Amino acid sequence: MAKRPPLDLAFPPDLSDQGAYEIAEFLEAPSLAFEAHYFAQIRRHRQAINPKRSEPGNPPWEDNDEVQTIP
């Protein structure tokens, strides 16, 4: 997959605390809804691109496919 170009956004330096909060809340709502709706697809893709990553609840020793024995 080709890497996306960075966003070229210009944020106003004089945004109030309340304004920053309200914009963040506004942007967070659709992001959370999208993630909740497509959770399975997002999870499968994350596992495909990083298969050794531990999932929450999986003990770290289950990620190690190689069993080491002491001679």
pLDDT one-digit tens code per residue, 15-71: 999 999 999 999 999 999 999 999 999 999 999 998 775 556 666 666 555 656 666
**Amino acid letter, residue 70:** I
Confidence of residue 11 (pLDDT cuts 50, 70, 90): confident
Backbone φ and ψ for 10, nearest 5 degrees, come out as -115, 110
User: Residue 7: which of 25, 27, 36, 37 has the closest Cα?
Assistant: 27
DSSP, res 1: -
- Positive or negative, the CA dihedral 13, 17, 23, 25 is positive
Give pLDDT, residue 25. Answer: 95
Give pLDDT, residue 33. Answer: 95
Give pLDDT, residue 52. Answer: 75
